[in-house]
Amino acid sequence: MKRDRRFKSGLVSSLNPLGFNLERWSYTVHRATGVILVGYLMAHIFETFQLGGGSTAWANTMAALHSLGPLELVGLWIVAGSALYHGGNGIRLILNEAFGKFMGKPILPVYPYSPTSLGKNQRIAVWSVTALVLALWVWAGLYLLAGLGVI
Amino acid sequence: MDKITLKITRSGGKQASYEVKYRKGMTVLDALTDVRERQDSSLGYRHSCRMGICGSCGMTIEGRPMLACQTQVSSLNRETIKIEPLHNMQVIRDLVVDIIPFFDLHRSVRPYLMRKNVDERDHSDREYRVLTDEVAKFLQFDYCIMCGLCYAACPTVALDPLYTGPQAVTQAYRYMADPRDEGWGERIDLLDTSHGVWRCHMAGACSFVCPKDVDPAKAVQLARMEVLKKRVLRKRGRAGSRLVTPPITSAPKEGVKPPPFDFGGVKK
């Protein structure tokens, strides 16, 4: 494979939102949560695949999972947060991309410039998704703790 | 603030520091010129108009792509300024990057008026009709100065060097929205590829750094809608606007009424 000789391109550069806009931060979180969900999906497929080995194999898999202790709960909570953010932000992006919501119409640029696609409506959409996800994530955490009988 | 320090990433990734005497109203380009004239004549950077028109002096200032001529040192609010070449482009020397791949992408979307009748376009003695409302649909995207800042800021370009890029997609849409153009379907075929308009993830960094408020993120989204119109709604391209009679080239004589304007059969 040909080496990419471009200055500061690649995965690290693409995920670095420092100094950029709110939507660029949202992009980074969206990508990270997507990777977590793919990882979870793989682990979930592996876990259910153990059913083919009979009840003993399944019991062993469950025992291995439960031996993680609180880490299992934390892992599930992170997966729940990832699913919530990826889904919520994904809906915002679909509204952006397929229906042109929050993007504004072409305008005549007047100084000082302020792109309408990153304007007030877009910011409200991003913050609404973030607030909703955080609220649901807290609820998911409480739900997990209640399920384990901790609270 | 009496002095500022420029930390410049030079060829081969080496960092060089230069102290420059600060003066009121100084831009980053002024500071670089000061370094080249008084301290190190080997420092390489591009510039031309010094007023944000030519788009030559794009560079990464404090981690963000900016035009050096339009960036006031005082606006950065720091005494040490970190300057790098534009990201996602190959460095030729110091802050000078190879913009040919970027220009090639621009060229690839055929950024000019396409007409079925080429002879009429190239050898016409008349003008095409464009209404003010129609101009408003593409004028914003016409202000692009091809500085490459959007391309350098784009996280998708960082991962996919074959991606058409925000600037080229914007220019494709600018001509697709132009009523004089007849290349709508052809440009959609150019954009609707695995490295085309669908690669964008709407990070909005392109619009954030654009020095002319061209808003490439919006243009990319509008271009996607055009692609969907063709692929999902099966819409066909429209005929380009018609030619109208030439404007009056000589001053009208006093007392002589000018002939009625011919709109080429189109109702006013």
Tokens of A39: 């990882």
What would the DSSP string read from start to end of A21-69?
Answer: -HHHHHHHHHHHHHHHHHHHHHHHHHHHHGGGG-HHHHHHHHHHHHTTT
Average pLDDT score over residue span B22-33: 96
Average pLDDT score over residue span A130-151: 89
Q: How far is A40 from chain B (nearest CA, A)?
A: 23
Look at phi and psi of residue A32 and say left if phi exceeds 0, alpha if psi is from -120 to 50, else beta.
Answer: alpha
Taking alpha carbons only, the member of B20, B21, B162 closest to residue B88 is: B162
Average pLDDT score over residue span B127-132: 84
Confidence of residue B216 (pLDDT cuts 50, 70, 90): very high
Given a contact cutoff of 8 angstroms between Cβ atoms, the answer to whether B180 and B240 are in contact is yes
Q: How far is A121 from chain B (nearest CA, A)?
A: 13
**φ/ψ of residue B131, rounded to 5:** -90, 160
pLDDT of A121 > 50? The answer is yes
Tell me if chain A has a CB within 8 Å of the CB of B199. Answer: no
Q: Which positions in chain A have a beta carbon within 8 angstroms of at least one beta carbon in chain B?
A: 4-11, 13-15, 18-21, 23-24, 26-27, 30-31, 93, 96-98, 100, 103-104, 106-109, 113-118, 122
Tokens of A76: 């599930």
Show which of residues 62-91 on chain B sit within 8 Å of chain A, judged by CB atoms.
62-64, 84-91
Cα dihedral A32, A34, A38, A43 sign = positive
- The span from the CA of A100 to the CA of B10, in Å, is 42
Helix (H, G, I), strand (E, B) or coil at B5: strand
- Looking at residue B129, its pLDDT comes to 82
pTM of structure? 0.88
Q: How far is A42 from chain B (nearest CA, A)?
A: 24
Q: Please report residues of A whose CB lies closer than 8 A to that of B203.
A: 20-21, 23-24, 26-27
Q: Please report residues of A whose CB lies closer than 8 A to that of B84.
A: 7-8
- Looking at residue B263, its pLDDT comes to 55
Show which of residues 91-110 on chain B sit within 8 Å of chain A, judged by CB atoms.
91, 97
pLDDT digits (tens, 9 = 90+) for B58-86: 999 999 999 999 999 999 999 999 999 99
Q: Which residue has the tokens 């109203």?
A: B25
pLDDT of B268 > 60? The answer is no
Tokens of B246: 């030439």
Tell me if chain A has a CB within 8 Å of the CB of B197. Answer: no
User: Which residues is B6 bridged to in the sheet?
Assistant: B18, B81
Residue of A nearest to B226 (CA): A98
- Looking at residue B128, its pLDDT comes to 83
Q: How far is B103 from chain A (nearest CA, A)?
A: 15
- The span from the CA of A5 to the CA of B161, in Å, is 11
Residue of B nearest to A98 (CA): B225
pLDDT of B267 > 70? The answer is no
ipTM of the complex: 0.88
Given a contact cutoff of 8 angstroms between Cβ atoms, the answer to whether B63 and B155 are in contact is no
Average pLDDT score over residue span B236-252: 67
- Looking at residue B1, its pLDDT comes to 80
Cβ separation A116–B137 shorter than 8 A = no
Residue of A nearest to B170 (CA): A106
- The span from the CA of A48 to the CA of B176, in Å, is 51
Q: How far is A22 from chain B (nearest CA, A)?
A: 8
CA distances, A116 to each of B29, B142, B222 (Å) = 29, 16, 13
Cβ separation B158–A100 shorter than 8 A = no
Cβ separation B215–A115 shorter than 8 A = yes
Ranking A30-34, B159-163, B263-267 by mean pLDDT, the lowest is B263-267
pLDDT of B264 > 60? The answer is no
